[in-house]
């Protein structure tokens, strides 16, 4: 199993450009998540999905959209990138919810917005 994979690994955008980050998991997990990681702030949840066709806002959703058309994929979109969105983005998945269940993380996408 590849686990959780993310595409691309690195990207540089200019302010106002758009892009989509792709997350894929091959573990048949129901739940998927997008986080951003900024220095000194741990990880913050952007959006999450509890199943195919459903998405919901997390802690810092502004400026991002998501889609979950297939169970194994979770896309994160930036419609008009801003320098404040420079960050490292992590995707994660978990089999079901519940306090005892860990989330499995992808390797991350490093995004720079100029």
Partner 1 sequence: AQSVTQLDSHVSVSEGTPVLLRCNYSSSYSPSLFWYVQHPNKGLQLLLKYTSAATLVKGINGFEAEFKKSETSFHLTKPSAHMSDAAEYFCVVTLMFSGGYNKLIFGAGTRLAVHP
Q: Are 26 and 1 in contact (CB under 8 A)?
A: yes
82 binds partner 1 per the rule CB under 8 A: no
Q: Is 1 in the site for partner 1 (CB under 8 A)?
A: no
CA distance 45 to 33: 7
Q: Rule CB under 8 A: is residue 7 a binding residue for partner 1?
A: no
Interatomic CA distance for residues 102 and 16, integer angstroms: 36
12 or 101: CB nearest partner 1 = 101
The gap between the terminal CA atoms of the chain, to the nearest Å, is: 36
Q: Which of 1, 2, 69, 99 binds partner 1 (CB under 8 A)?
A: 99
Is 90:37 a contact under the CB 8 Å cutoff?
yes
Cα torsion angle, 55, 1, 10, 45, sign: positive
By rule CB under 8 A, what string of x and - marks binding of each residue 48-67 to partner 1?
x-x-----x-x---------
Rule CB under 8 A: say whether 44 interacts with partner 1.
yes
Residues that bind partner 1 (CB under 8 A): 4, 31, 40-45, 48, 50, 56, 58, 90, 92, 94, 96-103, 105-108
């Amino acid at each position: 199993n590849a686990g959780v994979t993310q595409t691309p690994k690195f990207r540089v955008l200019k302010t106002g450009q758009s892009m989509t980050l792709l997350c894929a998991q091959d573990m048949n997990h129901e739940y998927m998540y997008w986080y951003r990681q900024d220095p000194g702030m741990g990880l913050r949840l952007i959006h999450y999905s509890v199943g195919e066709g459903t998405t919901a806002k997390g802690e810092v959703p502004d400026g991002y959209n998501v889609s979950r058309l297939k169970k194994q994929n979770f896309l994160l979109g930036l419609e008009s990138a801003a320098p404040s969105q420079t960050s490292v983005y992590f995707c994660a998945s978990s089999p079901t919810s519940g306090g005892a269940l860990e989330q499995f993380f992808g390797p991350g996408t490093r995004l720079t917005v100029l």
